[in-house]
C-alpha cells in the first residue's frame, strides 16, 4: 500500500495534476488525463508510456 505522504507529493507526469489511489489499491488515477498508473511491488510506475487509458463509462 502507498504511504499517504508519498501519495500527497506524487503528480501525474503528463499534466502535473494530482493522482488518486484506485479502489483496488493497485494503481494511481489521473482524472484529468484519464490514465491509470500501475503500482508494482509497492512502487508506482509513473511513466506516461506505461500508463493505461481508463475506460469511458457509458450511461
Question: From CA 55, how far away is CA 42, in angstroms rounded?
Answer: 24
pLDDT in tens, 5-55: 989 999 999 999 999 999 999 999 999 999 999 999 989 999 999 999 997
- Give residue 23's pLDDT: 92
Structure confidence at residue 56 as a pLDDT band (50, 70, 90): low
- Give residue 3's pLDDT: 85
3-state SS, residue 6: helix
| 7-10 long-range contacts, CB within 8 A, separation 24+ | 10/44, 10/46
- Looking at 2.40.50.140, 3.40.50.300, 3.40.50.80, 2.20.25.10, the CATH number of the domain 4-53 comes to 2.20.25.10
Q: What's this model's pTM, rounded to 2 decimal places?
A: 0.86
Question: From CA 4, how far away is CA 28, in angstroms rounded?
Answer: 12
Structure confidence at residue 2 as a pLDDT band (50, 70, 90): confident
Amino acid at each position: 500500500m502507498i504511504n499517504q505522504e508519498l501519495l500527497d507529493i506524487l503528480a501525474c507526469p503528463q499534466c502535473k495534476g494530482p493522482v488518486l489511489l484506485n479502489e483496488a489499491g493497485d494503481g494511481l488515477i489521473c482524472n484529468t488525463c484519464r490514465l491509470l498508473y500501475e503500482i508494482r511491488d509497492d512502487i508506482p510506475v509513473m511513466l506516461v508510456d506505461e500508463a493505461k487509458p481508463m475506460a469511458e463509462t457509458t450511461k
